[in-house]
Amino acid sequence: MFWFQRGNALRHAILGAGGVGLALGASLAKSGLPVVLVMTESSYSRYPGRITVHSKLRESYSVPVRAVERLTEPIDVLWVATKAPALDSALERIHLAGEAPSIVPLLNGIGHLGPLRARFGPSLLPGSIRIEAMRTAPGEVTWNSLFASVDLASEDVTNASRLRSLRAELEQAGFGCQFGDSAEAVLWHKLIFLLPLALATTAAKGPVGVVRRNPELLALMRDVCRELCAVAASQGIAVDAAASQRLLDSFPGRTDSSMHRDAAEGRPTELDALTEPVLRLGAAGGIPTPSIRELAQYARDAGS
| Domains along the sequence of the chain with CATH | 12-180 (3.40.50.720), 185-303 (1.10.1040.10)
Give the other-Cβ count within 10 Å of 129's Cβ.
Answer: 20
Does the pLDDT at position 199 exceed 60? yes
Report the percent of the chain where pLDDT is more than 70: 96
How far apart, in whole angstroms, are the C-alpha atoms of residue 141 and residue 26? 9
Predicted structure pTM score? 0.90
A 10 A CB-CB count for 130 gives 16
Spatial strand order in the sheet of 12-15 = 66-68, 35-38, 12-15, 77-80, 102-105
| pLDDT score, position 192 | 96
Q: Per-residue pLDDT tens for 244-262?
A: 999 999 999 999 999 999 9
Residue 248 to residue 57: CA distance in whole angstroms: 21
Binned at pLDDT 50, 70 and 90, residue 9 comes out as confident
pLDDT at 272: 96
DSSP string, 102-147: EEEE--SSSTTHHHHHHHHGGGB--EEEE--EEEEETTEEEE--S-
Looking at residue 2, its pLDDT comes to 30
Q: What is the pLDDT of residues 209-228, one digit of tens each?
A: 999 999 999 999 999 999 99
Residue 283 CB coordination number (10 Å): 12
Sign of CA dihedral 272, 275, 280, 286: negative
Say which residues have a Cβ less than 8 Å from residue 262's Cβ, sequence separation at least 6: 83, 268, 269, 270
- Split at pLDDT 50, 70, 90, the class of 186 is very high
3-state secondary structure of 222: helix
Residue 6 has pLDDT above 80, yes or no: no
CA 78-82-85 angle, to 5 degrees, is 135
In the prediction, which pLDDT does 155 show?
65
